[in-house]
Structure 1
Amino acid sequence: MLKEFRSFIARGNVLDLAVAVIIGAAFGRIVTSLTDDVLMPIIGKIFGGLDFSGYFVKMGNVPASYRGSLDDYAALKKAGVPLLGYGEFITQLVNFIIIAFIIFMIVRSVNRATTLFEIEKNKTAAVAAPEPTEVALLREIRDELKARSL
């Protein structure tokens, strides 16, 4: 069983997937930082607040024992107040759109590069492929027969 497991792990697809997951997680953290630390403060400033992810609507009563700020999303959520946190949702939506756009650009670039590579390969194959001797011989015979029939 250990030998089978080692064989499974050593396959290229599993290793490629593992590398992709690790890089994807790191990339996700970069995009999250870009969204949280750069874009959302700008968007928040435009909409009147610096912490856009803290926008929410209270959907229920605040417990009488609660002593924190009524504007603190995290504290209210921790206290068990039902909240509609639309600011956090918008932050995650912007995150998703950025990631989707970057992946689109990567896939688009790879597709273009592949297409250009295929075109170059076909040009090289067309130029580099000499005419087979049988085809050249048949062409000469055809031309000779045409010349004799005239």
Structure 2
Amino acid sequence: MGFIGDFKAFLMKGEIVTLATAVIVGGAFGKIVTSFTNDILMPPIGMLLGNVEFTDLKVVLQDGIPAIMNGETEVTPAVAEVAIMYGSFVQTILDFVIIGFCIFMVLKAYERTKKKEAAAPAAPAAPSTQEKLLMEIRDELKRKA
């Protein structure tokens, strides 16, 4: 099989389709969790902490300086503010914890279903060819006796 055929076989494997589905659903789930954190969870927490907007929390290392203009000509370019944005970092950590908890709960539920499947009695295996032959011999000997 050539390169194209190998690639097509690789793409058509069930694991690849399952993985692609998981990535798409995971991305959508991440957006839901981010919205939950930013729009539902953080506003009440910010209100309890004195009307704090977490994305605005930062430590300014250097203040920004606006550009100095002489008419239409820029004399001194603007200098951007240098800050450590720890509020956004706190929100990202909360997103991570919520996603981790949700995945933990899904895996626990999955493990419970696997335990139930394992607890179900397995159907007895069909007798092998040798066992069938021995049963036929036994039955033949009983009939002759």
TM-score over 0.5 (shorter chain): yes
The aligned residue for residue 97 of structure 2 is 97
Taking the aligned partners of 2:107 and 2:24, their CA distance within structure 1 comes to 19
- What is the alpha-carbon root mean square deviation over aligned residues? 2.2
Query: In the comparison of the two structures, how many residue pairs are matched?
Result: 114
Taking the aligned partners of 1:33 and 1:61, their CA distance within structure 2 comes to 31
Match of 1:5 among 7, 23, 46: 7
Amino acid at match of 2:31: R
What percentage of residue pairs aligned between the two structures are identical? 35
- Superposition pairs for residues 1-150 of structure 1, below 5 Å? 1-65=3-67, 80-119=80-119, 121=120, 124-125=121-122
Q: Secondary structure at the match of 2:90?
A: helix
Amino acid at match of 2:47: K
Amino acid at match of 1:23: V
User: Which ranges of 4 or more aligned residues in structure 1 deviate by more than 3 Å?
Assistant: none
TM-score calculated relative to the size of structure 2: 0.71
Question: Contact 1:36/1:91 (CA < 8 Å) preserved in 2?
Answer: yes
Taking the aligned partners of 2:117 and 2:5, their CA distance within structure 1 comes to 40
Distance apart, 1:50 and its partner CA: 4.9
Flag the structure with higher strand content: 2
Unmatched segments (≥5 aa) in structure 2: 69-78, 128-145
Taking the aligned partners of 1:52 and 1:98, their CA distance within structure 2 comes to 17
Distance apart, 1:112 and its partner CA: 1.4
Unmatched segments (≥5 aa) in structure 1: 67-78, 133-150
Distance apart, 1:46 and its partner CA: 1.2
Question: Contact 1:43/1:52 (CA < 8 Å) preserved in 2?
Answer: no
TM-score calculated relative to the size of structure 1: 0.68
Distance apart, 1:12 and its partner CA: 1.0
Taking the aligned partners of 2:58 and 2:104, their CA distance within structure 1 comes to 31
